Structure 1
């Protein structure tokens, strides 16, 4: 495994353990050249999934892109990295076990919103503001109102 700090190809595994959801192995590594420590995750890839964008473009599913989006929505919220990892793993698992080789970006966004809704209402609204392309403050107000009303029911 290449060191992210010095790009040396030699690193030593110091600790391995399964992630909370059991879908991956978390490995703590130490670079043999510079001594830096870093973490890697090893997970099974069941099949290559293609994301179909609104405009018809197709691109490979990128777990890191989804993780970045969710992390950004959860920024400065009381949500742990493990909770984010669990949410992303859950979404990826649903996609991979659906039996389809393609998933529409709209469906991917909906799955992410469903997961965030149960995790944190502020993160849910943040993600929705980008996903639903809010253009003015009124869009936030209307959506936040619907979230509050749904929570009361």
Structure 2
């Protein structure tokens, strides 16, 4: 496994254990070159979930991409990385289909964030729904307060 810090090609496994309720194996690795540690996840990939983009293109679902968006929305908020990781990496199993629209992914992510942290929800919604005016932003916050 290539080291994400120094790009050295060799690392050793320090610890392995089941993760995501047995759906993956979490491995702690140590780079043989720089000595830094990092975590990898190994999971079976049967048939990849395909994401249908707004312009009609299709691409394989990437949980890291979803995790990146959730992480940005929850930056400096009291949401644990483990909570986000569990959602992002469990998303494919939850959907139970072979195709999903990017809109559906955004809706599910907002439904996930709303009860956890309202500020993170608004941050994610502002990007997902592409707020172009202050009024649209205020309207969403009012809906959050009323709902």
Is the TM-score greater than 0.5? yes
| Residue 22 of structure 1, CA deviation | 4.0
Superposition misfits of 4+ residues, deviation over 6 angstroms? none
| Residue 20 of structure 1, CA deviation | 5.6
RMSD: 1.6
1:49-64 maps to which residues of 2 (within 5 A)? 49-64=49-64
Check conservation: 1:20, 1:82, Cα contact below 8 A. no
Check conservation: 2:27, 2:39, Cα contact below 8 A. yes
Provide the residue aligned with 1:110 in structure 2. Answer: 107
Count of aligned pairs between the two proteins: 147
SS of residue paired to 1:33: coil
Normalising by structure 1, we get a TM-score of: 0.87
1:1-153 maps to which residues of 2 (within 5 A)? 1-19=1-19, 21-95=21-95, 97-98=96-97, 101-150=98-147
Normalising by structure 2, we get a TM-score of: 0.90
CA distance in 2, matches of 1:84, 1:121: 15
Q: Cα deviation per residue 1:6-61 (whole Å; 9 max; x = unaligned)? A: 33322111112233644322211112233221111112223112211111122221
| Residue 78 of structure 1, CA deviation | 0.2
Structure 2: stretches of 5+ with no match in the other structure: none
